[in-house]
Amino acid sequence: MKLESIKVEKFKRIDAIELPITYLNILVGSNGSGKSSILQALHLASCLMRQVDRIRAGSTAMVSINDLDYLPSDQYWKLGHGADWGNKGNSPSSKVEFRFLDDVAGVVPPNIVTAKLVMRSARNAGISVQGELPESARPLFRGQNVFFSGFIPGISGIPNVEQKNSKRVVLKACSFGDSNVYLRNALNLLSAADIAKIEEWLEPLLGPIKIKIVFDESKDFDIHAHAELNGRSTPLELLGTGFLQLIQIFCYILLFKPKILLIDEPDIHLHPTIQEKLAGSLLEIARAQEIKIVMSTHSPFIVRGAPVDANVVWLADGEIKSDERFVVELALGWGAFGKQVIIVSEDAKNELLKKLIQQWPEIERSVTVLPGRGYKHLLTRSEAEELRTSLGGKFKVLVHRDRDSLTDVEATQLVDSYGVEGVGLWLTDQSDLESEFCNPSFLSSLTGESLAVCDDWIVQIVTANAIPISDQFSKQRAAHNEELHAAGGSPTNAEVWAELQHRPLRGAKGKYVMGQLKNKVPGRAYSEASVECHKGFPELAPSLKNAIELLLDQ
């Protein structure tokens, strides 16, 4: 019997989702995407199938909350999707299916065997269950010391002291996800051969390691556990959390001997180099132990290090966004999960662009920013389209370019040249991003001075530095003419300069003026740090907001 796929319906973030299952399955996505919902649904259904008295399609049975080996929330009736569980046959419920390939009998093609479970509230404090558990699948779920699933929600450290507990207490606590309180107890339940196996699995990730568990029934109350690394013995509680996380994962495999191991974000406490190795190690172990592993992660290192035959799935809003490995790796590496628009910036440093976007929290949640290498390396329209296509059309692409010394006509022509579905060009309202933060209204908000005083600072800077500002303008116009008017027909520099005098910085570059303001504003009140930290200023760059909203509405 081989687990081939799972299906979850109406559970927390999940409306309906079906996933093929291989030896290693990696779920990626932003917070709230449904990764943990899938893991919790599978483990809860597995525990109910093991603990309930009977599983039948035509009748219900109940498991008391106090008896359950796992429960994601004390308010279990809220585990439904879009509606709380009811306690009647036609009331809201959740459903989980495990689909197996029965290849034992030698039948060609192999039989498909499906174990199904419907969960809803019971009339008393418990969960009501009905479903189907075919006889051929029954030994996978039911029996003494049989655990179809093991669930590892993560670990945050272990207590300094741990008293010996009964096997039943330890197994229930570990099933509930409380193994950090019982990790020594869990290790103490394993044989010497199992401990040696954990050491073997840890070595490719951490180097040679020895784990020693000591408990004398005749005289000890507490279990003593040490790990020997690099010839030094260290109490288990003093190991790094990442070390403990790995020990916990491997301990569960041998303690529960599950058919499916569910691991929630194992990357949190692990160094990136270990993250890259982890997926390969888990796949090798899964094959050797004949188990399936489903893990959730935010880590690009885990996905990057996953073997080619790992199943990588990107989730968003409880649905499969993509199962194409290339698309997932790009999106994960760029922090694009949960986003709708990728802004490809002209600049390598994007703090100011991100600060502008932070003005609009709803928009910020939908946007990620990628750094660039200057306008000469800016994405063309065709390159932006190619990027969008390579990501499966999952994102809109907005290219950011500084306006520099472009005229309004030139700027409009450039923006129009990017006018295709899902792609756009945003030009700064003034010369560059820095100009927004040299605006008198921003200066007044930052320093508390009047608009007149702040505007006078700009006038003084522009007047005192007319020559370098003019030289910079001339160089920019030469570059613009080469790019846009190679065949001639460009406006004269004098005409363009006259047009720029209507801008707040009178044709000066924001980068230059920002440098001068650091010395001009009294008391060193103006600096990169003060600009980046300042909040509550009047809205800046409304055209950026409009450009993003246009793409979001497409």
* Mean pLDDT of the region 147-164: 87
How many Å apart are CA 252 and CA 198, to the nearest integer? Answer: 10
Compute the C-alpha angle 118/122/124, nearest 5°: 165
* Mean pLDDT of the region 448-474: 95
Q: Is the dihedral of CA 265, 269, 270, 271 positive or negative?
A: positive
Query: Comparing C-alpha atoms, which of 63, 87, 85 is closest to residue 75?
Result: 85
Answer whether residue 332 shows pLDDT above 80: no
pLDDT number for residue 267: 87
pLDDT number for residue 29: 87
310: phi then psi, degrees, rounded to nearest 5: -75, 150
* Mean pLDDT of the region 439-445: 95
Q: Which tens digits make up the pLDDT trace of 515-545? A: 999 999 999 999 999 999 999 999 999 999 9
Answer whether residue 292 shows pLDDT above 70: yes
pLDDT number for residue 105: 61
Contacts of 535 (CB under 8 A, 6+ apart): none
pLDDT number for residue 4: 96
Structure-model confidence comparison of residues 106 and 3, the more confident one: 3
Q: Which tens digits make up the pLDDT trace of 183-241? A: 999 999 999 999 999 999 999 999 999 999 999 888 989 999 999 998 899 999 999 88
Beta strand 209-214 with 224-229 is: antiparallel
Answer whether residue 441 shows pLDDT above 90: yes
Q: Which tens digits make up the pLDDT trace of 157-187? A: 788 998 999 999 998 888 887 767 889 999 9
Q: Which tens digits make up the pLDDT trace of 370-409? A: 888 887 888 999 999 988 887 888 899 999 999 999 999 9
Q: Per-residue confidence at 106, pLDDT binned at 50, 70, 90?
A: low
- Identify the H or E element spanning 483: helix 466-484
Buried-state track 135-149, b at ≥16 Cβ within 10 A, e below 16? eebeebbeeeeebbb
pLDDT number for residue 374: 81
Q: Which tens digits make up the pLDDT trace of 19-46? A: 999 999 999 988 889 999 999 999 999 9
Looking at domain 151-308, its CATH architecture is: 3-Layer(aba) Sandwich (3.40)
C-alpha pair distances (Å), 325 with each of 20, 28, 313? 15, 11, 8
Q: What is the mean pLDDT of the chain?
A: 92
Per domain, the residue ranges of the chain are 2-23+31-144, 151-308, 335-433, 437-534
Looking at the DSSP bridge assignments, the partners of residue 399 are 344, 425
